[in-house]
Amino acid sequence: MYTISNLFKLVGKAVKENDLYSGTWFINYSGHVNKIDIHYYPTGWEQGKDKHNESWSVYLDSKGSIAEAYLFIKNRLRG
């Protein structure tokens, strides 16, 4: 089941991966509009370098949009 609570537990796992693997996550949540922006750099991030990244942005206004954000993160986790 895809809930906000499950999504943010997964966000926590993604943030922990920043210390364990070369991939880097940037996750911004705007609670006043219920929007999440996710950027994932599979080979890491470096200032001043335009590295390949994958991003997803969605308003969390339905079960479908929560599932989209959840699966975006879940499918890219390494651990």
Could you identify the residue written with the tokens 């999504």? 7
- Please report, as a single letter, which amino acid is at residue 76: R
Please report which helix (H) or strand (E) contains residue 43, including its range. Answer: none
Q: Domain residues for 23? A: 4-74
**pLDDT at residue 74 in the model:** 96
Q: Does the pLDDT value for residue 44 go beyond 90?
A: no
In this prediction, residue 79 has a pLDDT band, given cuts at 50, 70 and 90, of confident
The number of distinct structural domains making up the chain is 1
b/e per residue, 44-64, with b = 16+ CB within 10 A?
ebeeeeeeeeeebebebeeee
Q: What are phi and psi of 34, to 5 degrees?
A: 60, 50
**Domain presence at residue 79:** no
Q: Is residue 8 part of a domain?
A: yes
Residue 13 counted as domain residue: yes
